[in-house]
A and B are shown apart, each in its own frame.
Chain A
Amino acid sequence: MATMSDRMPRISAGQFATMITAGYLGLGIFYFPRPLVEDAGRVGLYGLWLDGLAAFLLMKLIFAMGRLIPNETLSGFSAALLSKPVSWLLALYTIVYHLALAISAVVLFSFVLGNIFLPSTPIWAISGALTLTSAYMAYGGVLALARTLQASYIPLLVLTIFSVSMATLSIRHPSLLLPTTDVSLLPLVDGAYHQFVIFIGFQLSVTLYPFVKNGEQRQAERYSVLALAGIVLALSLEYEVIMAVFGPDAIDRLRWPLASTYRIISLSGFYISKLGTLLIVLWTIVIVAFVAVRLWCLAHDLSAMAPRRLSYELALGLMTLATILGTLPFPNAKVANLLNEHYLLPLGLAYLVLVPGTVMVVGKLRPQATRQLRARHEPGPEV
Chain B
Amino acid sequence: MANPHSWRRVVAWALLLALSLGALTGCWDDKSLDTRTLVLAMGFYPARQPGEVAVYFAVPTPAGLTSDSGSSSSGGASGPPLIILQGVGHSIGQAFSAAQASTNRDLYLGHTVFLLFSTKLSPFMLRRLVNALDRIGTLDKTPFVAATSAPFAAVLGTIPQEHFPPLYYEELFSCTTCQQLMLGVRFWQMSDRLWTPGVDLVLPVLKPTRQGPAVDEVALYRNTRYVATLTPKETTAYGIAAGRSRKTSLFFPRLWDANLDFVADKARVSTEVVHGRLQATLAIHATATLESIATATETAGQVARISRRAARLLADEAAAFVRLSQRDDVDALGFGRALAWAQPQVFARYRHWHRVYPHLTVAVRASITVNRLGDLR
A interface residues (Cβ-Cβ under 8 A, vs B): 41-42, 114-122, 125, 128-129, 132, 136, 139, 172-173, 175-176, 180, 182, 246-250, 252-253, 255, 260, 263-264, 266, 268, 274, 277, 309, 311-314, 317
Contacts and interface: CB of A to CB of B under 8 A. Distances in A.
A266 B142 contact: yes
B2 A264 contact: no
B246 to A, nearest CB: 16
Given A132-B15, A263-B140, A317-B11, A247 B29 contact: no
Contacts, number: 94
B134 A255 contact: yes
A277 B1 CA distance: 44
B344 A264 contact: no
Nearest to A317: B11
Contacts of B2: 311
B4 interface: yes
B269 to A, nearest CB: 9
For the complex of A and B, the 8 pairs showing the least CB-CB separation, nearest first, are: A115-B137, A311-B1, A121-B28, A249-B196, A250-B192, A313-B7, A253-B195, A120-B29
24 contacts: A41-B344, A116-B137, A119-B138, A120-B29, A120-B31, A125-B28, A128-B18, A172-B189, A175-B268, A180-B343, A246-B192, A248-B341, A249-B340, A250-B195, A250-B196, A252-B195, A253-B191, A255-B135, A263-B140, A266-B142, A268-B174, A274-B140, A274-B142, A277-B140
Contact of A125 (B8, B22, B191, B192): B22
B344 A180 contact: yes
Contacts of A118: 28-29
Interface string B274-310: 0000000000000000000000000000000000000
Contacts of A129: 22
Contacts of B28: 118, 120-122, 125
A293 B16 CA distance: 23
Q: Which one of A128, A136, A250 has the highest number of Cβ atoms from chain B below 10 Å of its Cβ?
A: A250
B343 A182 contact: yes
Given A121-B28, A125-B22, A255-B134, A182 B344 contact: yes
Interface size class of B (residues with CB under 8 A): 35 or more
A176 B191 contact: no
B196 A132 contact: no
A312 B7 CA distance: 10
B141 interface: yes
A180 B342 contact: yes
Given A180-B344, A249-B196, A266-B142, A311 B134 contact: no
A314 B7 contact: yes
A219 to B, nearest CB: 32
